Structure formats: structure tokens, C-alpha cells
Amino acid sequence: MLMRNLTMMTDLYQLTMMNGYFRYGKRDQVSVFDMFFRGHALQEYAVMAGLEQVIEYIQNLHFNREDIEYLRSLNIFDEDFLEYLRTFRFNGEIYAMPEGSIVFPQEPLVRVKAKIMEAQFIETALLNIINHQTLIATKARRVVQAAKGGSVLEFGLRRAQGPDAGILGARAAVIGGCDATSNVMTGQMFDIPVKGTHAHSWVMSFPDELSAFRAYADVFPDGCMLLVDTYDTLKSGVPNAITCFKELRAKGYEPVGIRLDSGDLAYLSKKARQMLDAAGFPNAKIFASGDLDEDLIWDLNAQGACIDVWGVGTKLITSDGFTALGGVYKLSCEDENGTMVPKIKVSENPVKITNPGYKKVMRIYDNATNKAIADLIMLEEESVDESKPLTLFHPVDTWKKMTVTDFHTKELLQPIFVDGKLVYQQPKLQQICAFAREEMESFWEEYRRLRNPHVYKVDLSQKLYDLKQELLKKARNGKA
């Protein structure tokens, strides 16, 4: 576990707002914030990740003496506010969707209810953690989908934007479906399988390619995977690997296979497969790497490439093609004299208009197939009667309607912290990965496809829709 005090990993305006709340007597004002994303270019869904690190952050949240001294040196904070920070802790409530959950735009992934100074302050760190890991987990899921059953390994550490991005990005990639990582520290910290072979420099450091292969096989006879494209893949690399494999077999060992890192991977893998099969090594795997992503893997499979294992690095760990999830954290209601008063952010851009109120998210499943039908964002006090037909409608194009029957529901937001105390049993990473696979299987393939996926329905309850329209009307009339 990456147990560190990240309290000072925040934006300055969180602290200036806190100082303002403190001065204007709002320190005990209870507020509710929602963390959600508005949609992204990868596809309609995302894979929730990062909750474990959010938990660690909240548990370690405190300002130490050096933090207070630094803030004092900025000469912008009141002294009594700095004194307040000495005993600052999170004492509120956090509900969140479990890691591995399949999540959609506009629905709360995390709901925070706390005194406004506490709820406001954790915004930056919460977004930093959830945005990054959810982005990488989602990218990994796309790559795994493109591999069509082939094993995918995360190989991105050397191209990640810093150590934390490499370590936690690899963790997120495994949640997204990768089978292992090259990152030894991630393997150690999270009990993830680690994989790796050798580089071209190993081959180049010996007098010739065959000598390099023999030396590697001598050191690792039970795990011999040879990189065959240092000089000439088909004229030198694969034939020398086969020679080495025959020598290994004579000693009682079976080779793992070969790795291709450059060239026309479709052509080379098909030719290499023929050569390995003809030599008596049909079980030797062909591993491919080299600037791969979901689109290239999809195309290679479409061309009949004979690749068993995919090593994906740069374009996975950096989420090439879309560099940020775009998660946001918005105030949705405040407690005024014991009553939760809804709040709404209004924008000329409809997608930036928030959903007000103290909300929950229900997932609706078809009883016959156990497949997800839609998600329904509701006010907390509402319930769904599963014995009656339920009519859903599009939150913008309200004429688009659907009535479901013979269904069951699941509440997606789970309690994580209550009164500042952790009440959630954090699962092991292997359990999270199993849950993520189950979640994915609960959706029809039309929602999961890489290109032009069918849009999954995320609707508002009638009561929430009416509340939103009422607040928009008041805002237009200058009464919000």
C-alpha cells in the first residue's frame, strides 16, 4: 500500500475557500458534493478505479507542523484558520462505486456529505486519484477487448509520467483486464504477477545471436522467451530460437516462446508460427510488443496475426488518444436547518448543467438474462417498486421512453466512510479484477464494442427531473 500523507496535494483555492468559509461562519455547514465525468472519447463507459488510494488519502488526512508553517509563509491565511488546520480531519460521509464497476457519464461515482470545509478540501486529491486510475483502467479494458481472448501485459513504466503514474497506472491496468505487469514495484505492492524477458542489448552484448539465446536459456531454462528481431527475424532470430529450443528440450525443458518487437507483426507472426509448428513447437507462444494500442491490435487480429500475448506500454499507460477522463466535483445540496436544499450549476452548455439534490444511482437488470438495461439517477429518499412496470425517459429528449418489466435493481453507491470512520471492507486486487470481469459480462456486447458503441441509458427519475426543471426555471428568473 502506498501509505503517504498527501494532504498538501491540493489546489490553493481549496484552502482560500476554506479560509473564507471559516471567516463567514460556515465551518459547520453540511454540504453534499458529487464526483462524476461528463463523457469521454474512449467510449460510453468507464471502469472505476482508484478507490483504495482515496481511502488511504482520507485516513492519512492531516496537516503537520511543516505544512502549517509553509501556509503561514504565504501571508494569505488568518492565524485562527491556521490554528484550526492543526486538528483538521475528515469526519464526514463518503459513498462510492466499488473499483471495477462499469460506470457512465453524469452519474455520481463518489458522493461526499460532510461539513463544507471538509467536503471542499478533498476535491483535488479525489479527482486526481479517480480520474487517473479510471482513465487507465478504461484504456486497458479497450486493449483487452481488442485482444479477443489473448493475454495482455502492461509494459508502460518507462514511458509513464512519473513513478506514481507508473505504479498506480499498472494497478489500474490490471483492474481493466491486464494479466500482469513489467513493473516490479507494482507487483510487490499489490501482489500482481510480473513478467519480462530480455532486451535487444542482451543479444547485442554476445558475440552472436545464438550465443545470446543459449546463455539466456541456460539462466532461465523454465522461462525461456527469446526476443528474435535484433538482426533478422525470419532468417536469423526464429531459426536460432528453434535451435535453442531443441537444445532445451533435450535437457528436459520446454520453451515459453518468442517475442516480436518490430516489423510487420501480422506477416512475421504468421511466418514464425509456421516455422515453430514445423519444428515441433506448436505450444511455443508468440509475444508481440512495440507501440501497440487497441486499434492496432484489432487490425492485426483482423489480418489473422498469430499472436498469443500482447505487451502494451506507452499507449496504455499514457492513455494515448485521450489524456484525461474529465471527472468533476460539484456541489449538489446543502443542509439548511435540517433540510437538504438542492443546488444546481447552470451553464449555456447543457452537458455542464448539474443534477441537483442528494442522489443515488440504481442499476436495472433484466431478470431473464441478468443483463443491465439502464441506470437510474434518483433522489436518496426515492425507491423503485420492482413488482410494477417502470417507465424510463431520456433526460434531455424526454419523448424517448422505455417501459421495463420483470426486472431487478442494484444500488451502486456503497458506504465507504460514515462519520469519518471507514466502514468498507477493501477487497484484494484479485477480487476487484474478478468483479470487473463480472461487471463487464453483465452488459450486452453492443454497449462494449470499440467503435460506435450503443449508448447505454442513464436516466433521471421523474422526481429528480422535475426538481432540475424547477431549479432551472428559478435560475432563469433570477431566483436561484
Q: Give me the DSSP letters along 62-125.
A: ---HHHHHHHHHTT-S-HHHHHHHTT----SEEEEPPTT-EE-TTS-SEEEEEEHHHHHHTHHH
User: From CA 316, how far away is CA 193, in angstroms rounded?
Assistant: 18
Average pLDDT over residues 52-80: 97
Q: What angle do CA 92, 94, 99 make, to 5 degrees?
A: 155
Average pLDDT over residues 282-292: 96
Q: What was the pLDDT predicted at 39?
A: 76
Average pLDDT over residues 390-410: 94
Q: Is the pLDDT of residue 81 over 80?
A: yes
**Alpha carbon of 241 to those of 10, 145, 228: distances in Å?**
53, 30, 7
H or E element in which residue 377 lies:
strand 372-379
For every residue of 330-358, DSSP letters joined together read EEEEEEETTEEEE-----SSGGGPPPPSS
Q: What was the pLDDT predicted at 480?
A: 52
Listed by start position, the domains of the chain span 139-317, 345-412+453-480
Burial 26-53 (b: 16+ CB within 10 A, else e): beebbbbbbbbbeebebbbbbbbbbbbb
Count of Cβ atoms closer than 10 Å to residue 302 Cβ:
11
Q: What was the pLDDT predicted at 452?
A: 85
Q: What was the pLDDT predicted at 478?
A: 73
User: From CA 45, how far away is CA 38, in angstroms rounded?
Assistant: 11
Q: Please check whether the domain covering 139-317 is classified as CATH 3.40.50.720.
A: no
Average pLDDT, the chain: 95
Percent of the chain whose predicted confidence (pLDDT) is above 90:
90
Strand partners, 401: 393
Ranges 74-78, 124-128, 171-175, 345-349: which has the least confidence? 345-349
Q: Is the pLDDT of residue 42 over 70?
A: no
Q: 334-341 long-range contacts, Cβ below 8 Å, gap at least 24?
A: 334/29, 334/30, 334/31, 334/32, 334/116, 335/29, 335/30, 335/31, 340/32
Q: Is the pLDDT of residue 335 over 50?
A: yes
In sign, the C-alpha dihedral spanning 132, 135, 139, 145 is positive
pLDDT digits (tens, 9 = 90+) for 220-259: 999 999 999 999 999 999 999 999 999 999 999 999 999 9
Instruction: Give the residue among 360, 351, 306 at the shortest CA–CA distance from 328.
Output: 351
Average pLDDT over residues 446-453: 88
Average pLDDT over residues 410-417: 98
User: From CA 40, how far away is CA 36, in angstroms rounded?
Assistant: 12
Q: How confident is the model at residue 1 (pLDDT cuts 50, 70, 90)?
A: very low
Q: What was the pLDDT predicted at 218?
A: 97
pLDDT digits (tens, 9 = 90+) for 346-391: 988 888 899 999 999 999 999 999 999 999 999 999 999 999 999 9
Q: What 8-state DSSP symbol labels residue 194?
A: B
Give the residue carrying C-alpha cell 441509458. Answer: 457
User: From CA 61, how far away is CA 92, in angstroms rounded?
Assistant: 13
Average pLDDT over residues 318-339: 92
Q: How confident is the model at residue 43 (pLDDT cuts 50, 70, 90)?
A: low
Average pLDDT over residues 138-143: 96
Three cell numbers written together for 151: 493475454
Q: How confident is the model at residue 127 (pLDDT cuts 50, 70, 90)?
A: very high
